[in-house]
Amino acid sequence: MLLQILVAMKAMPLYCVLPTLSEYMVQKGWTRCFSAISDVGWVLYIFYISIYLVICEFGIYWMHRELHDIKPLYKYLHATHHIYNKQNTLSPFAGLAFHPLDGILQALPHVIALFLVPTQLMTHMVLLFCEGVWTANIHDCVHGDVWPVMGAGYHTIHHTTYRHNYGHYTIWMDWMFGTLRYPEEDMKKAN
């Protein structure tokens, strides 16, 4: 666990590059961000945030999957995170113990979404913060089993098989692209 903390602390300053860059692009007016929900109204705000989340879910799924499938990316970037692969070595700190470029690549869909869909700036910033909380949560080995949430049970399977459960907040992308493996299936096989 100490190694996980050290790796996370070394990478943390570089993780700040992407939110800083995205805020700079917003301030320059290069994105489709807006300041207040009243600028678009609640109905459009909910519609836009739904599209934003789908873009992020899709983008993070594929970014994570490619970090596994493209061997040099795995070897030089993502393997740093996967040295914590057994249930007894996973901890919330493992969720932030990434190579800095790996962490930036997996957060990139949040920034790409700013160019594709109108997004309220504070919502974007809150979702980036939630990213860190969520990442810690899915590495704590405590499976909450709330459908369709990609909880720790699903992500622990990812850390032990390498070929399943690449998704982010939900299991939908894994279901859609055939990489979903349910924690219940693993429990049955273990018994």
List C-alpha distances in Å: 74 to 50, 83, 165: 30, 12, 16
Q: Residue 141 corresponds to which tokens in the numbers above? A: 């080995």
More confident residue, 185 or 108: 108
Torsion of CA 94, 91, 106, 168, to 10 degrees: 170
Residue 87 has pLDDT above 60, yes or no: no
Q: Give the CA count within 13 Å in the CB-facing half-sphere of 108.
A: 12
Distance CA 77, CA 49 (A): 30
Mean pLDDT value across residues 12-22: 82
Residue 117 has pLDDT above 90, yes or no: yes
Residue 85 has pLDDT above 70, yes or no: no
More confident residue, 101 or 58: 58
Percent with pLDDT over 90 in the chain: 44
Write down the pTM of the prediction: 0.87
* Residue 100: pLDDT band with limits 50, 70, 90: confident
Distance CA 146, CA 128 (A): 22
CA angle 77–167–56, rounded 5-degree value:
85
Residue found under tokens 């969520």: 134
* Residue 153: pLDDT band with limits 50, 70, 90: confident
More confident residue, 66 or 188: 66
Using DSSP's 3-state secondary structure scheme, residue 15 falls into helix
Mean pLDDT value across residues 73-78: 89
pLDDT at res. 41: 97
Lowest-pLDDT choice from 63-72, 103-112, 129-138: 129-138
